[in-house]
Structure 1
Amino acid sequence: MYRKGPQGWLKHLDFTVLNLIALHASYCMAYFIRMGTENPYHSKLYRTIAVLLTLFQLLVTIVCHIYKGVLQRGRFREAIASVKQSVLVVLLAVFVLFMMKMGAAYSRKVMALFGMIYLVMGYVVTLLWKEYIRRHRVAKKSIVIVTVKEYLNALLAEMDTEYYNLYRVAGVVLLDATEDEAESYNTEYADLELSIYTYSDEVLEQIMHGWVDEVYVNIPFEKHIPENLLGQLADMGITVHVRVRVPAELSNYQYVFDKQLGHHVLTVSTTYITMYQAFVKRAIDILGGIVGCIFTGILTIILAPCIYIASPGPIFFSQYRIGKNGKKFKIYKFRSMYMDAEARKAELMEQNQVKDGMMFKMEYDPRIIGCKKLPDGTIKKGIGNRIRDWSLDEFPQFFNVLKGDMSLIGTRPPTEDEWEKYSAHHRGRMAIKPGITGLWQVSGRSNITDFDEVVRLDRKYIDEWSLVNDIKILFKTVGVVLKGEGSM
């Protein structure tokens, strides 16, 4: 029976607990240095701060995957992780204290000292615990490796340096070695106290009667696994792991093993999102959508008469756009253009600043309500420009977010005619839900006229997606909108 081990932050619960101890030790030291001998936990204020620090430590650990690959990290990468962790914990605590209007009550020197002490102590504790694991961990599982001569050195080095005695290597079966070669390898690796064999029925007999929990098969793609080997091992009750060779053309993508249509498959995608991440992202979208719809209602009362007086007609503009993976949906906006804007678009296509017509951008767009070009060449802005400059036209899209057609953060949804011009590379930017804002919008917004640059930024967002990056983009969007740097 195979029991899958804990995943995510629970996989390294020991590091989490030790760093929580280091956090409170650092907190007490900082308080002692600044305030004297009094116990910080006797004060209601500093007890509250301690609770906040603990909660944010756990939050940062879970959301930022602080201990992902911790056993494989070198000292420099460990230092970077420690800096990231301590800085985020302190900043989050300070921000919440400020929002709770407690900013003037606590000592900033205590928090500064805490941050510095915790950075060093957390780093040292992590390194010491890793060294302890390396030296003292007793292997709980015994494993046999089935491989070829070409992979032997790398696999044994990997087991020694990266898995910290997690496994006891009971033996190695070389599928392409002769008996003489196997004997030579046994001499070479005598200090590792393992046995190296060629493949034979006798080897299966030894595996059956020895301590073997798992078998790891790692062979080249073109090499065939001996007939019935895996079935015989499974019949013995031994857990078998077979490394799947991913084609080189797919090596830059993310992949998971799944079961689809009744078959076990290797699922390849541009990015991978867990159920937890999907739940949090959707929860943020729903919360943001509700708040956004409330503001949209308020803006409707203000903008409706302004739009109607300047250009009689509907207050809202709707249009079919292309969503995730080519699915059409109807997008909603406050109308910022005259009623015949779509009909006039073809006439103005020659003045499009985006090459190949993959998007439509103009410095002076006469379709915008109230926009005029004066005889001296200056552009007089109207109500439509004001709506677009402050991105007010985008607010009805919060309804699209609530419906699930869009997300707060994503890629810009193209029009149907733009979609028809897409190549395979361009289509990749629609692998996720479109968003009200995104990476390219906060990197230049309407100032970007090279569509390939838009695609590059969108693909970068998708490939590097995380909840933390979404939050960063949200904050950047607020700043960009307040500056009025073009329309979204």
Structure 2
Amino acid sequence: MTVKSMPVVSLKPDLRSAQGTRVQKGIIIRFFRVISLVFLDITCLVLAWNLAIFYGEDLDDPWAKKESLLVLTIVLQIGIIAVKGLYKGGINRRNYSSLFKAISTSQIFLLLIAFLYESNYYISRSSFIIFWFLSVIFLCVQRYIFDVVTKHLRRKGVMRHSVFLITDSAEKENHIKIIEQENCYTVQGIADSSCLDLRNRDKTFEYLRRQGIVEAFVSWNAIKNRLYLCWHFYTAGITLRILPTKSEHCHPKSTLLVIGGVPCMTISAPFIIGTDFLVKRCFDLCCSIVLLLLLSPIYLLIALLIKLDSPGPIFFRQERIGLHGRKFKIWKFRTMVANAEKLQASLEAKNEIKDGVLFKMKDDPRVTQIGKFLRLYSLDELPQLFNVFLGEMSLVGPRPLPRRDVEKFTSHHFVRQEVLPGITGLWQVSGRSNIDNFEDAVKLDITYIENWSLWLDLTILLKTVKVVVQKTGAY
């Protein structure tokens, strides 16, 4: 009997892993733009300060005489402008109303600091008002000139981003017009949605890497059934912009930016590509080694109890389907009678999972006495730390399933096989065995894949401890 799974590529990595750690493409241009804006803003603020001191009231003002306070003023104003996101690209640096609010907020802080710092002296109110007024005027004018110069250079073909468009022929012309309205992109290639299909996917991303593509525009219709593909763009260091249709909804990792006058879902690429999944693997490796050493006395105690409870081996090894359909042997402490797998066929009619993909029974007669205790506290899963150490599993991820379950998969279930399976996951901390429908479990797995982060893994691990201690849904 063969497993209905996708073609197996032995060296194919986890969906979330990058092909090496590297700096995001185009980051040098963006860094130069930000540094230029910061330098111009500082120049404008220093000029506004000196003019305010020159034309303000001639008082014994310690605020005007100390250069250290000028430095504090500049740092505070630049910091607030940065916090407001006004050094980001596109419409952000042209947001004059937010720039006005940022400068005004910094002026309020400066007045408060001036009052507390030198409460025994008069502070020139006219100097502050002039400084605030000139700061607003100079910064807005400088940003406007910067924007005009940038647009002129882009019309000449300088400082443009190489982008790739993936859309169906019916939407191609409209999407090209949207991209061209922004006047900062060069469309380097166009393909239809079939380039994201499983058989074409690797060639597509290899082509994008060779061409040095910084951003990719993908129509919602081309990606709505392939949302986990966002990880392919993310790990390739390519910013993904999803062009809308009338019925789109936001992806969990996306932010809305206006491109060509329309809202566009954007999933930004990381500055340093590949580090987050590398940290995950290092964390898995270190934790598995430490836990195997610390828990070795418990391993010996459980092994002794299993031997005394029923005849048969201490460990149970079963073939599971893991990353990209690869088969591997999962390790568990034996909790059933020795011939449990042969007896399962006679119990299929009592399966409590409604769609029949998984096999679960609350009062399974094959479970031994010590097995019930081990399952209650999930102690039977401890040997899977060996699978984590060998790189076959992770601490957190979708549970690897037996061949019997995978043979009943439909096409949309195979997204689970795109990431490294885990000992625990979102499914386990959201009800464990109480989930009686495999589709509900798949939805939780997809939610985990779409929202994955190191913090999410840590949160699931902490919740797992709570669920195990409380024995929630365990049998």
Normalising TM by the smaller chain, what interval?
Answer: 0.5 to 0.7
Equivalence for 2:59: none
User: 1:132 and 1:216 mapped to 2: Cα distance?
Assistant: 33
Is the CA contact 1:257–1:265 (under 8 Å) kept in the aligned structure 2?
A: no
Deviation of 1:356 after TM superposition, in Å, equals: 3.3
- Say if 2:142 is the partner of 1:136: yes
Higher relative contact order (CA 8 A, sep 6+): 2
- Say if 2:374 is the partner of 1:387: yes
Cα displacement string for residues 141-175 of structure 1 (whole angstroms, at most 9, x for unaligned residues): xxxxxxxxxxxxxxxxxxxxxxx678324586xxx
Equivalence for 1:456: 443
Equivalence for 2:231: 271
Is the CA contact 2:25–2:212 (under 8 Å) kept in the aligned structure 1?
A: no
Q: How many residues are aligned here? A: 301
Distance 1:408 1:298, change over 3 A: same
Deviation of 1:452 after TM superposition, in Å, equals: 0.3
Distance 1:441 1:130, change over 3 A: farther
Q: Pairwise mapping of residues 50-449 of structure 1 onto structure 2 (< 5 A)?
A: 136-137=142-143, 167-169=150-152, 212=158, 214=160, 241-242=186-187, 244=189, 247=192, 258-259=205-206, 269=229, 271-272=231-232, 273=235, 274-370=273-369, 383-449=370-436
Match of 1:355, SS state, is coil
Deviation of 1:467 after TM superposition, in Å, equals: 1.3
Deviation of 1:217 after TM superposition, in Å, equals: 8.1
User: 1:368 and 1:360 mapped to 2: Cα distance?
Assistant: 14
Deviation of 1:303 after TM superposition, in Å, equals: 0.9
Deviation of 1:420 after TM superposition, in Å, equals: 1.1
Is the CA contact 2:325–2:417 (under 8 Å) kept in the aligned structure 1?
A: yes
Equivalence for 2:69: none
Opposite residue 6 of structure 1, the aligned amino acid is: I
Deviation of 1:355 after TM superposition, in Å, equals: 2.4
Deviation of 1:321 after TM superposition, in Å, equals: 0.3
Deviation of 1:262 after TM superposition, in Å, equals: 10
Deviation of 1:281 after TM superposition, in Å, equals: 0.7
Distance 1:318 1:295, change over 3 A: farther
Equivalence for 2:181: none
Match of 1:259, SS state, is helix
- Say if 2:462 is the partner of 1:475: yes
Deviation of 1:348 after TM superposition, in Å, equals: 0.9
- Which blocks of at least 5 consecutive residues in structure 2 are unaligned? 1-23, 39-81, 99-134, 173-183, 217-225, 236-272
Is the CA contact 1:322–1:416 (under 8 Å) kept in the aligned structure 2?
A: yes
Deviation of 1:409 after TM superposition, in Å, equals: 0.7
Deviation of 1:314 after TM superposition, in Å, equals: 1.2
Distance 1:13 1:358, change over 3 A: farther
Deviation of 1:338 after TM superposition, in Å, equals: 1.0
Deviation of 1:429 after TM superposition, in Å, equals: 1.4
Deviation of 1:324 after TM superposition, in Å, equals: 0.8
Match of 1:319, SS state, is strand
Match of 1:342, SS state, is helix
Is the CA contact 1:258–1:265 (under 8 Å) kept in the aligned structure 2?
A: no
Opposite residue 283 of structure 1, the aligned amino acid is: C
Deviation of 1:258 after TM superposition, in Å, equals: 3.7
Match of 2:423, SS state, is strand
Deviation of 1:242 after TM superposition, in Å, equals: 1.5
Distance 1:170 1:262, change over 3 A: closer
Match of 1:332, SS state, is strand
- Which blocks of at least 5 consecutive residues in structure 1 are unaligned? 18-60, 79-128, 141-163, 173-206, 226-238, 371-382
Match of 2:328, SS state, is strand
Opposite residue 313 of structure 2, the aligned amino acid is: P
Opposite residue 271 of structure 1, the aligned amino acid is: W
User: 2:326 and 2:391 mapped to 1: Cα distance?
Assistant: 12
CA RMSD of aligned residues (A): 4.8
User: 1:396 and 1:131 mapped to 2: Cα distance?
Assistant: 67
User: 2:291 and 2:358 mapped to 1: Cα distance?
Assistant: 26
Deviation of 1:71 after TM superposition, in Å, equals: 5.5
Deviation of 1:241 after TM superposition, in Å, equals: 2.7
Is the CA contact 1:139–1:166 (under 8 Å) kept in the aligned structure 2?
A: yes
Q: TM-score, normalised by structure 1?
A: 0.52
